[in-house]
Structure 1
Amino acid sequence: MKEVLAIIRPNMVSKTGKALEAVGFPAMTVIRCFGRGKEKGYIDAKLPEDVDKEKIIEEGEKLGMRMKYIPKRMISIVVDDADVPFVVGIIMKVNRTGKPGDGKIFVLPVEEAIRIRTGEFGVEAIGN
């Protein structure tokens, strides 16, 4: 089993959830989070559209301007090993805009899953 951990834009959670449910993966956990990637977040000041934002960010850091973290959502879904490429493909298809901030996907090993209600173990416990 693997955990597919996807960090995506908040406005894409519903669309992602519907797409995964439509192909047989209704179970997931969604967590509010904040982060930033290579774009380094954004600074407190509002910037005109025609400025070089990279240069402004660098200058802002030198002047001690506070960098903000961007609101994101983290989706966790545990699936059988064979389903990982399919689930990752769905998440990528739904969330890829080609712009910075589309998100990241991590695939992690899961040693065991246990359904508390029934005591089921392994793939039977994840309910996919």
Structure 2
Amino acid sequence: MKEIMAVIRMNMVNQTKKALSDNGVDAFFAREATGRGKGLVSRDILEGAEKGHEEAVALLGDKGRLYPKRVLTVVVPDEQVDTVVKTIMKVNITGKPGDGKIFVMPVLDSVRVRTGESGDASIA
């Protein structure tokens, strides 16, 4: 069992949700988030801006801004991981910075509270 966490653009949520559903994945979580990639921003400039140095803030401009994102979390059996990752990528890839990030992490177990089922049965 794996947890797939995808950070995507806000405007791509509906298309991603539909694509996942079309591929048999209807259960997932979505959270609002803000963030940014590492881009081309110098750590020294970021630290200076955080300390309030006007020169650093001016150099930083819009690059230090946090952008609204969505974090989708899906837990699937191991055999579905490739399908889910490829589906998310297919919908969200534009080739431009900010397309997002996908993380795949192991899940040791899960339990359906209502029935007590565990493992893959709890997410089926």
TM-score, length-scaled by structure 2: 0.82
How high is the sequence identity, in percent, across the aligned residues?
Answer: 49
Unaligned runs of 5+ in 2: none
- 2:56 maps to 64
Distance 2:106 2:29 in 1: 17
Distance 2:23 2:37 in 1: 30
Distance 2:37 2:21 in 1: 29
Q: Which amino acid aligns with 2:104?
A: V
* CA deviation map 1:68-127 (0-9, x unaligned): 211100000001111111110000000000000000000000000111111110111112
- 1:113 maps to 110
Normalized per residue, the structure richer in helix is: 2
Q: Report the RMSD for the aligned CA atoms in angstroms.
A: 2.2
- SS of corresponding position for 2:96: coil
- 2:120 maps to 123
Distance 1:107 1:23 in 2: 18
Query: How many Å apart are 1:64 and its aligned residue?
Result: 3.4
- SS of corresponding position for 1:7: strand
Q: Which runs of 4+ in 1 moved over 4 A?
A: none
Unaligned runs of 5+ in 1: 41-53
Distance 1:120 1:34 in 2: 35
TM-score, length-scaled by structure 1: 0.80
Distance 1:19 1:95 in 2: 11
Q: Which amino acid aligns with 1:13?
A: V
Query: How many Å apart are 1:28 and its aligned residue?
Result: 0.4
- SS of corresponding position for 1:108: strand
Q: Which amino acid aligns with 2:10?
A: P
- SS of corresponding position for 1:117: coil
